[in-house]
Structure 1
Amino acid sequence: MSLGDEHEASGGYGGTGQTRTRLPGGGGDVYGGARRGGRSSRSLVTVVGVVVLLIAAIAFANRGGDDSSSDGGGEDKPEAAATAATGTKPVQSKTSDIPTGFAHDQQGAQSAAANYSIVLGSADMFNKARRHEIIDTVYAPDVAATRQADLDRAYSNEKFLTNIGLSKDGSAPNGQTFVSRVIPVGTKVTATSASSATVEVWYTSLFGMSGESSTNPVTESWYTTTYQLKWMDNDWKVTDFQQKDGPVPVGRDQKASTADDMTKAIEEYGGFTYAR
């Protein structure tokens, strides 16, 4: 389930809000379905313009640094240099396979919030043992126990699991793949001190069931979650959060992928460890 869907199903990580479950529209198999209405002339001009820009960029990149036919004689040309990463380096340590050990600064707080968003919105949250590991790693000890109890109640709700197509133990039916993935787009620090930080994470989420017989196909949603983080035991820990919808971009005129392509993508493309 996406981070946003998990919030709504459980009342928000700790049952702090009204229970609300968002489910993909039922009926029909959108995979491999028809495109939306035909492209307008404006859309066609935009696409042609992008293609022209790409061709120009490729031609420019392939010009090479030593052009004997060009003017300038023996003038020195700038040397090529690889793009260097900026900011705090990504963390190397993990706890329960979750990135930990973030820097004690604003960059570290943003990296922690982004990485915690990913694991809290993952399909692992539907496995009880794994869910407990995630909560114990991500949350501050003084709130972890309460969050765990509330989330256990939410994720063991049979009606909720049935509605999204999962069995009582949180597993997907044979021949189908359960998808719940969060992809951070950006982060922003809105408040900070030596022992705390408030970080907003804007992200898109994928949630649903990938399979030919799925009635809940994988859909996309957009959210912004504001995390309250506390510096303790040489790392950032979550103490609270607030979530809102969007910002939501305008959808493109793209054909939905087949169930097979979606399943392969989920299985073959891994996630990232985020750092700034």
Structure 2
Amino acid sequence: MSLSDDGGYGGDRGPETGQTRTRLPDSGGDGYGTGRRPRASLSSRNLVTGVGVVVLLIAAIAFANRSGDTSSDSPSADSPKSSDTQPTAPTGTKPVTGKNGDIATGFAKTEQGAQSAAANYAVALDSSGMYDSDQRDVILDTVYASSVATARKESLRKLYTDPKFLASAGLKADGNAPRGTTFVSRANPVGTKTTQFKGGTAKVEVWYSLLFGIAGQGSQNPVSENWYTSTMQLQWSNGDWKVANIKQKAGPAPIGSDQTAATAGEMSKAVQGFGGFTYAR
């Protein structure tokens, strides 16, 4: 109903005069009586109701978002099984308590903690530090269980001191890059997946890309990107996750883009200027 149809706005005819008497809304009254205030129209009431609904929706969304921040150290009954795909997201559990050099240590004894350990260990085991004998021993002592570290040190020492292997990587016989160039070996985890988890053992897959090569003018081994998946058997030892065994396979690799490759100078500057991450679930 429009305002003009309301009784407060309509004219009513006076007796015997034949004239129209008009009451104005909110008037102080006249000789024919006090004026009446118009009632709110249906459209006005609908507007107020609509605004109220919007306010309630906004309040509900804000409350839901705030409620979603609550976290628990243990998964709920609705959590996906360990074999299901799980998004990388905060869990509320602090994933790392310390570091041994540049390697994160002190992971939680949970599936997320095992995934964090595996991702960080993949970075360490594919780093340029593996080509230096002193750094390599520190990495292996940190990453591997003590029962297998000694054997791994010996087998990897033979590999990383093999002149043919070093030459294939573009390095000199002493393991160093040619003068004026930068050796790059940096793993970048994309995701992790727990395929087995029981008490103090876990099997975790890490999918990652690896930047590898020599950055610099005249390099015969320019930096390129390769993709791998490492499967790690982890065991809980002395308050942390340690690698008992590891296997690596190529891929899955995405289709290469047509993005313009960086120059040798740009790549060297990027590698030297951008530090790595501590990866955590």
Establish whether TM, by shorter chain, passes 0.5.
yes
Flag the structure with larger Rg.
Answer: 2
Alpha-carbon shift at residue 151 of structure 1 (Å)? 0.5
Q: Structure 1 counterpart of 2:116, which letter?
A: S
1:86 paired residue among 80, 86, 90: 90
2:140 is aligned to 135
Structural RMSD (CA): 2.1
Which of 98, 101, 109 is the matching residue for 1:96? 101
Unaligned runs of 5+ in 1: 1-70
* 2:218 counterpart (201, 210, 213): 213
Picking from 203, 208, 228, the partner of 2:233 is: 228
- Give 1:107's match in structure 2, choosing from 100, 103, 112: 112
1:194 to 183, 194, 199: 199
Q: Give the TM-score of the pair, scaled to structure 2.
A: 0.69
Number of aligned residue pairs: give it: 206
Q: Distance in 2 between matches of 1:156 and 1:124?
A: 13
Maintained 8 Å contact 1:132/1:148? yes
Equivalent-residue separation in structure 1 for 2:98 and 2:192 (angstroms): 21
2:154 equivalent to 1:163: no
Residue deviations 1:94-115 (CA, integer Å, cap 9, x gap): 1233110000010000000000
1:1-150 superposed matches below 5 A: 72=51, 76=55, 86-87=90-91, 88-150=93-155
Give the residue type in structure 1 aligned to 2:90: T
Identity of aligned residues (%): 51
1:96–1:137: 8 Å Cα contact kept in structure 2? no
Q: CA deviation at 1:185?
A: 0.3
Tell me, yes or no, if the aligned pair for 2:130 and 2:136 is still in contact at 8 Å: yes
Please identify runs of 4+ aligned residues in structure 1 that moved more than 3 A: 71-85
**SS of residue in 1 equivalent to 2:107:** coil
Per-residue CA distance 1:132-156 (angstroms, 9 max, x = gap): 0000110000100000000000011
Match of 2:19 in 1: none
Cα distance, 1:163 vs structure 2: 2.5
Shift of 1:73: 9.2
Which fold has the larger relative contact order, with Cα–Cα distance below 8 Å and residues 6 or more apart in sequence? 1
Assess, with a 3 A threshold, how the Cα gap between structure 1 residues 251 and 225 changes in structure 2: closer, same or farther: same
Gaps of 5+ in 2: 1-49, 70-88
Contact 1:196 1:228 in 2 (8 A): yes
Q: Is the 8 A contact 1:90 1:274 kept in 2?
A: no
Q: How far apart in 2 are the matches of 1:273 and 1:159?
A: 33
For residues 254 and 97 of structure 1, what CA distance do their matches in structure 2 show? 32
Residue 90 of structure 1 and its aligned partner are, at CA, apart by 3.6
